[in-house]
Amino acid sequence: MKTVSENRAFGGVQGVYTHASIACACDMTFGLFLPAQAEDGPVPLLWFLSGLTCTHENAMVKAGAQRWAAEAGIALVFPDTSPRGEGVANDPDFALGQGAGFYVNATRKPWAPHFRMWDYVTDELPRLLFNAFPLAEEVQGITGHSMGGHGALTIAMSFPGRFRSASAFAPICHPTSSDWGRPQFSAYLGTDESSWAAHDATLLMRRRGFDGPLLVDQGTSDQFLDKLRPEALAEAMASARQGGTFRMQKGYDHSYFFVSTFMEDHVSFHAQAFLG
């Protein structure tokens, strides 16, 4: 692992690091904010998974999460959204290829050699983080925006007991029935739709739900509502009697202005779950 940068922020340190990833067969970059409390011992970890076209940097710079995490004594990790570099497949469509890993393990060419973001985020990067930094593995939460919200919800429901809390900002809720899902799953996973279900938050909610508190925020003026399908997840939560909160925020769109507005709520939500 190599240090790209480390900057003092809110009494803690915002770092950026690169490492050679076995899962993605390329160098990967992530951001990690450690609050001042980490100087005295392991601190809880909140994952933030970003959306289409993003790198590790978007949420790290725009979401305003460090201020609230510093007050709560929580570390934040900002993984990249896909493999990158020379020899890594790409596509002119911004919703496929580099910047659009969709948090799945691709099984189809030309994506399979590098696009293994599920293994990277759920296995390889956690092992690196908990070995290298003062982080409490037993106290984790996960959140994300858009494609990252999809990743946060599907990962949270797929690893019972790992995360004490889960939240999402404008997640892609039902990708198996959306233009943000069907083309990408076809490309990465093939045309057998039975393999897609494990990566659809609405279907996972209907089948198993999440074993902890859940918070979802969605803007009513989001320009991508038809692709996000929030109503499907809300109905699934109600049907599964999932404990949690689904909020439609009047007038907000899909941007980081929306994310940063409600970031304090989400960090506080996770902090309360960590205390429990």
Q: Is the pLDDT of residue 188 over 80?
A: yes
Q: Is the pLDDT of residue 189 over 90?
A: yes
Q: pLDDT at position 254, please? A: 98
Give the three-state DSSP class for 205.
helix
Single-letter residue type at 10: F
| ∠ Cα 82 176 252 (to 5°) | 75
Active site residue 254: yes
Active site residue 40: no
Give the three-state DSSP class for 39.
helix
- Structural domain boundaries, residue 36: 2-275
Q: pLDDT at position 219, please? A: 98
Q: pLDDT at position 121, please? A: 98
CATH number at residue 69: 3.40.50.1820
Confidence of residue 276 (pLDDT cuts 50, 70, 90): confident
Catalytic residue among 80, 200, 217, 222: 222
List residues bridging with 30 in a β-sheet. 17, 79
Q: pLDDT at position 131, please? A: 98
Give the Cα separation of 192 and 94 in Å (integer).
Answer: 24
Task: Dump pLDDT digits (tens) for 91-120.
Answer: 999 999 999 999 999 999 999 999 999 999
Catalytic residue among 50, 82, 146, 167: 146
Cα atoms in the Cβ-side hemisphere of radius 13 Å centred on 231? 7
Give the three-state DSSP class for 103.
coil
Tell me how far CA of residue 203 lies from CA of 54, 74, 153, 244, in angstroms. 26, 31, 11, 17
Residue 8: its H or E element: strand 2-9
Task: Dump pLDDT digits (tens) for 219-271.
Answer: 999 999 999 999 999 999 999 999 999 999 999 999 999 999 999 999 999 99
Catalytic residue among 56, 114, 145, 254: 254
Strands (E) located in 35-155: 43-49, 75-79, 135-144
**Within a 10 A sphere around the Cβ of 127, how many other Cβ atoms?**
10
Task: Dump pLDDT digits (tens) for 60-101.
Answer: 999 999 999 999 999 999 999 999 999 999 999 999 999 999
Residues 128, 29: contact at Cβ < 8 Å? no
Which 8-state DSSP code applies to residue 57?
Answer: H
Domain count, the chain: 1
Task: Dump pLDDT digits (tens) for 163-179.
Answer: 999 999 999 999 999 99
Q: Which of 126, 122, 79 is nearest to 104 (CA)?
A: 122
Active site residue 222: yes
Retrieve residue 235's tokens. 């109905």
Which 8-state DSSP code applies to residue 102?
Answer: T
